[in-house]
Amino acid sequence: MGPISPALPQLPRRAIGIDVGGTGIKGGIVNLQKGSLTGKRFRIPTPRPATPQAVAGVIGEILDELLSREKAPAAEDLTVGVTVPGIVIDNVVLSAANIDESWLDCDTTQLLNNLPGHISTLNDADAAGLAEARYGAGANKPGTILTVTLGTGVGSALVHDGVLVPNSELGHLEFEGEKPAERKVSASARERLDMPWDEYGETLRRFLAHVERIQPVSKFIIGGGISKRSEDFLPFVSGLRAEVVPAQLTNNAGIVGAALYAAERATLKTPKVHET
């Protein structure tokens, strides 16, 4: 477990996380003490087009399945975290670079208001980075940790002493004349440009050096599906001030981080009063 959150001692034992991706929507029951899934994750392909209404329907189906399980969280302290690959402020989606544009300005509190539990929505990379910082490659490490997720786009999550500063969106920086940087640095850019691994590693190294000039950190965690192949490109990411390590929770980081975020938000809003 990473640095302590003020809400941690009061968190429910379990919460639900749902990770909305481009090809699949995945949910799971998360054990918040361990940062791992209780039981299997449940996945439904992302509907096409992936409009807010269609995705909300799938989220409802996933919740039904998870709540039918014996180890489902109790209804009275059910918290659910949902990820979206865009900027999210106060549960409202404010960008839609890699998702259906009908998500722009979508208020997810209204969209999901017929579903049970306290629901919070957050950026997908923020969820993954929060989970990594607290339970994965950043666990027990204070300081500033930046997780960079490499997939269709490039996401980023800035966590300081275990606390997330949401929506850093560093994949949208301008980088070597390219705007946004994700056009050159994402895993899909590597495929599109047919980049050999050494060249990809070099490109990532220059991108992280660029990021380091703006936001010095103690550690970079490299996430996204491509981090499974980190031995192919991380050896070329050298000479940076910060340490660079691969993510540990890969597949489930989004689910775990979403559940943790939602549980902490709900707990901080309605703290339990301790008896003296």
Alpha carbon separation from 207 to 162, 181, 248 (Å, rounded)? 24, 8, 22
Least Cβ distance, residue 143 to ligand BGC (angstroms):
22
**Interaction between residue 123 and ligand BGC (CB under 6 A):** yes
Q: Which residue spans within the chain are E strands per DSSP? A: 14-20, 24-31, 36-45, 79-84, 88-89, 92-93, 118-123, 144-150, 154-160, 163-165, 219-223, 243-246
CA dist 158 and 243 (Å) reads: 15
Q: Between residues 141 and 183, which has the closer beta carbon with respect to ligand BGC?
A: 183
Amino acid sitting at position 61: E
Please identify, among the stretches 94-102, 229-237, 238-246, 266-274, the one whose residues bind ligand BGC according to the rule CB under 6 A. Answer: 94-102
**CB distance 216 to 108 below 8 Å:** no
- Pick between residue 77 and residue 124 the one whose CB is nearest to ligand BGC: 124
What is the distance between the terminal CA atoms of the chain, rounded to a whole angstrom?
28
Site for ligand BGC in 177-206 (CB under 6 A): 182
Q: Which stretch binds ligand BGC (CB under 6 A): 112-120, 149-157, 158-166, 263-271?
A: 149-157
- The residue assigned the tokens 């809003």 is 269
Asked whether position 77 contacts ligand BGC by CB under 6 A, the answer is no
Q: Does 254 engage in binding with ligand BGC (CB under 6 A)?
A: no
**Which residue carries 């607290």 as its tokens?**
134
Q: Does 147 bind ligand BGC (CB under 6 A)?
A: no
Q: Closest separation between CB of residue 43 and ligand BGC, Å? A: 17
Q: Give contact residues for ligand BGC (rule: CB under 6 A).
A: 85-87, 95, 97-98, 123-125, 149, 151, 153, 155, 169, 171-172, 182
